[in-house]
Amino acid sequence: MDIDDILADVSTAAEPQESRDLQQLTRAWVAERVAPEVLPWPAGLMDRIEGRIRRQIELVEEQTGNMDPKANFRLIVIQTELERFKFLVRSFLRARIAKIDKYAQHYLSLAAQQPTLLAPTELQYLQAHIALLSRHYSTSFLSAFPPSLQRLDDTAGGISMVDGPDLDTVVFCRVLRDVGTVRVEGTDVEMNMRRGDVWVVRWGSIRNAVVERGDIELI
């Protein structure tokens, strides 16, 4: 660690938690909008942000009666920002629900293995979604089939009928910390990923660097 690193550390530590949360939420939103699969639920971050939004709404409600023009303008600014935050959170959640809807069976089995993947409410939603869907299928036509053909998650013949997202879809990403050489399996592609680079690359080959280490962000 040299002096620049120490200075940089101090400057990020001096940044208020609110600003860091905004940066994290923005990054999570972009990643969720871009990545082909649902990313782990950022529980701590979302709890803090939801709490803050709730308090800010209470503040706006308390102050709406205030007729002082100066306070009024302050309120306009606060409300504008509130709407921006609500948009971010809503778009983030909706992007996740879109993926959960599309590959419901896949995420149901995945959520059982990775409890932190979905938020409790998302899991509830997913279970209700699947229950509705399978009841609908069985009342409308599945019950007329022989019992051996009634399953919705059959893996007979080595082929699973549960569809999952295509993890090799290409994404645009930005390298936040030097990663080194990344090889795309099955091809001749080798990339030397350095901080600040922008790459077009298969999601599967950078997934761990994005999700677990945070060395790369999606754009």
Partner 1 sequence: MALPLPPGLTPPEVAFLCEMELVTVIPRQRLESLELLGGPTAALFPPHRSNIPLWLALLLKRQRRANISPPPWLTPTSLSAILEFEIEHSKEAFSPPPRLAPSAGSNNTSPPFLLSATSDAPPEALPYHWLELGEILLEAAPDDFEEPDQVRRLMRDLREVRTAKLRAGVAVLDAGGGVKMNGVGGMEVAEGRAFIGGVIDGLRKIGASREQARREREAEERDNGYAGTAEDDEDEMDL
48-67 positions binding partner 1, by CB under 8 A: 49, 52-53, 56
Q: Would you call 17 exposed, middle or buried from its count of C-beta atoms within 10 A (0-12, 13-18, 19+)?
A: exposed
Phi and psi, residue 40, nearest 5°: -55, 140
Structure tokens at 178: 């030097």
Give 100 or 111: the residue with its C-beta nearer to partner 1.
100
Q: Is residue 138 within 8 Å of residue 150, measured between CB atoms?
A: yes
Give 37 or 111: the residue with its C-beta nearer to partner 1.
37
Q: Which residue among 104, 106, 205, 210 contacts partner 1 (CB under 8 A)?
A: 205
Minimum distance, C-beta of residue 192 to partner 1, in the bound complex (Å): 9
Is residue 202 at the binding interface for partner 1, with CB under 8 A as the rule?
yes
Crossing angle (nearest 10°) for helices 17-34 and 69-102: 40
Please tell me the count of residues contacting partner 1 according to CB under 8 A. 81
Q: State which amino acid sits at residue 93.
A: L
| Distance (Å, whole) CA 104 – CA 107 | 5
Binding to partner 1, residues 94-153 (CB under 8 A): 94-95, 97-98, 100-101
Is residue 30 at the binding interface for partner 1, with CB under 8 A as the rule?
yes
Is residue 170 at the binding interface for partner 1, with CB under 8 A as the rule?
yes
> Three-state DSSP class for 110?
helix
Give 113 or 181: the residue with its C-beta nearer to partner 1.
181
